[in-house]
Amino acid sequence: MSLAEFLNMGGYAAYVWSSYGIAAVVLVVNLVIPVQKHRLLLSRLRRRIRQEQNPQ
């Protein structure tokens, strides 16, 4: 099987690859969101603790 044949998916390329593409995007986004939220929350908490420790 050649690469072109594989990519062509027996004529169903648009259907197969769009399905896999959408799945990849949705699954990656669902990991990126909690990572960013976690990072943001930790830095916010850190700032707050620093302010509590040395209030100006």
Partner 1 sequence: MFGNFFHKMASPPWFYRISGKLIPWIGAACALLLLYGLYGGLVLAPADYQQGDSFRIIYIHVPAAWMSLFIYVLMAVCGVITLVWRMKMAEVVLIASAPVGAAFTFLALVTGSIWGKPMWGTWWVWDGRLTSELILLFLYLGVIALHNAIEDRQTAAKAVAILAIVGVVNVPIIHYSVEWWATLHQGPTITKLDKPSIHVDMLIPLLVMAVAFKLYYVTAMLMRARVELLERERNSKWVKEMVGEL
**Whole-number minimum distance, CB 40 to partner 1, in Å?**
9
Q: What is the rounded CA–CA span in Å between residue 7 and residue 5?
A: 5
CA-to-CA separations, 27 to 1, 24, 51, 53, in angstroms, rounded:
29, 5, 37, 40
**Whole-number minimum distance, CB 24 to partner 1, in Å?**
9
Show the tokens assigned to 42. 């930790």
**Whole-number minimum distance, CB 33 to partner 1, in Å?**
8
Using CB under 8 A, list all residues that contact partner 1.
1, 6, 9-12, 15-16, 18-20, 22-23, 26-27, 30-31, 33-35, 37-38, 41-42, 45-46, 49
